[in-house]
Amino acid sequence: MTKTKVDIDNEIQWCPGCGNFSILKSMENAFTALGLEPKDLLIVSGIGQAGKTPNYMECNMLHGLHGRALPLATGAKIANSDLNIIVNTGDGDCYGEGGNHFLAAIRRNIDITVLIHNNRVYGLTKGQASPTAAFGMKTKHQNRGTISSSFNPAATALVMGAGFIAQGFSGNMKQLEYLIVEAINFKGFSMVDIHQPCVSFNKINTHSWYKSRVFDLNDTDHDYSNYENALQTVHNKNHKIPLGIIYKKPGVPFHERLDVLKKQPLLKYKFDGAQLENILTTAV
């Protein structure tokens, strides 16, 4: 069973009250529910408060540069498709610096689960507006309000053809655990965009701000297998925040699109130096 290391090592570096704690605990609960052992798991992250997450779990981890968690996860999945690969990334990391990698991972349908800790600010660097900040949001740095319009992750993922799109909230751990389990069980690219307060630097999108806006899609007649239904949900005009599975449609994942990977993971192939030499010498 995969345990968090929070209580054991007391090494955690997040502010008291940060939404990251509930995300971490929901991950532990989800891994336990799935019977995942640390050896079965690779957690990949980039830079930011979200990027610290794998440090607080018993797991294999790969900590990359800012915005580069997704290409690392892609390479790891190609090398060893037997691994369950989870990416912990922030809204700045994933939708800002790593934005193009987000699009590429969806197009390739890499069989990984991406958990985005979406607090609408760059937490680690003290609260600049991130791509998901609302237009006009005032921060210490954008003191007249941000002049960029807000990025809509679920809408972007949907039109790009992502197979599993969900939205969660750090203030609803039971649902978040369920969404993480469903995302991991999904074969192909899966993402859970998790609304998370940053208690130190985002005084607008607070826990109570979210509480008064979130609603459970299960309480509506939402059909996550219906694209039109999902499209309407992600363009929700009433400023409420839908939580749950927005869209789910399986497709062929990347490692099953190539015969060489379909046969066995890359790491099980023997290194053939002569073949490499041949490629290098004949390449134009």
Ligand X SMILES: Cc1ncc(C[n+]2csc(CCOP(=O)(O)OP(=O)(O)O)c2C)c(N)n1
Shortest distance in whole angstroms from residue 21 CB to ligand SF4: 9
Shortest distance in whole angstroms from residue 193 CB to ligand X: 12
The only residue of 2, 22, 29, 49 in contact with ligand SF4, by rule CB under 6 A: 49
Given the DSSP bridges, would you call strands 164-169 and 241-248 parallel, antiparallel or unpaired?
antiparallel
Per rule CB under 6 A, is residue 148 in the interface with ligand X? no
User: Could you say which DSSP state residue 254 is in?
Assistant: G
Shortest distance in whole angstroms from residue 222 CB to ligand SF4: 30
Per rule CB under 6 A, is residue 20 in the interface with ligand SF4? yes
- Residue 244 interface partner, choices ligand SF4, ligand X, none, CB cut-off 5-8 Å depending on type: none
Per rule CB under 6 A, is residue 53 in the interface with ligand X? no
With H, G, I as helix, E, B as strand and everything else as coil, classify residue 142: coil
Per the CB < 8 A criterion, the answer to whether 91 and 117 are in contact is: yes
**What length does the chain have?**
284
* Beta carbons within 8 Å of 30's beta carbon, 6+ residues apart: 177, 178, 180, 181, 184
Per rule CB under 6 A, is residue 230 in the interface with ligand X? no
Q: Can you tell me the distance from the alpha carbon of 193 to that of 176, in angstroms, rounded to the nearest whole number?
A: 10
Shortest distance in whole angstroms from residue 124 CB to ligand SF4: 6
For 61, phi then psi, to 5°, come to -135, 155
Q: Can you tell me the distance from the alpha carbon of 194 to that of 238, in angstroms, rounded to the nearest whole number?
A: 19
The only residue of 56, 95, 122, 201 in contact with ligand SF4, by rule CB under 6 A: 201
Where in 111-140 is the site for ligand X (CB under 6 A)?
117, 119, 121-125, 130
- Residue 18 interface partner, choices ligand SF4, ligand X, none, CB cut-off 5-8 Å depending on type: ligand SF4
Q: Can you tell me the distance from the alpha carbon of 197 to that of 200, in angstroms, rounded to the nearest whole number?
A: 9
Q: Which is nearer to ligand X, 90 or 242 (CB)?
A: 90
Per rule CB under 6 A, is residue 31 in the interface with ligand SF4? no
As to burial, measured by CB atoms within 10 angstroms (0-12 exposed, 13-18 middle, 19+ buried), residue 215 is middle
Binding mask 66-105 for ligand X (x = CB under 6 A): x-----------------------xxxx---x--------
Q: Can you tell me the distance from the alpha carbon of 79 to that of 140, in angstroms, rounded to the nearest whole number?
A: 43
Q: Can you tell me the distance from the alpha carbon of 138 to that of 143, in angstroms, rounded to the nearest whole number?
A: 5
Per rule CB under 6 A, is residue 170 in the interface with ligand X? no
Q: Is the dihedral of CA 58, 46, 208, 215 positive or negative?
A: negative
Shortest distance in whole angstroms from residue 149 CB to ligand X: 17
Per rule CB under 6 A, is residue 123 in the interface with ligand SF4? yes
Per the CB < 8 A criterion, the answer to whether 24 and 57 are in contact is: yes
- Residue 93 interface partner, choices ligand SF4, ligand X, none, CB cut-off 5-8 Å depending on type: ligand X
Per rule CB under 6 A, is residue 183 in the interface with ligand X? no
The number of residues that bind ligand X (CB under 6 A) is: 18
Shortest distance in whole angstroms from residue 164 CB to ligand X: 21
As to burial, measured by CB atoms within 10 angstroms (0-12 exposed, 13-18 middle, 19+ buried), residue 263 is exposed
Interacting residues with ligand SF4 (CB under 6 A): 14-15, 18, 20, 49, 119, 123, 198-201
Interacting residues with ligand X (CB under 6 A): 47-50, 66, 90-93, 97, 117, 119, 121-125, 130
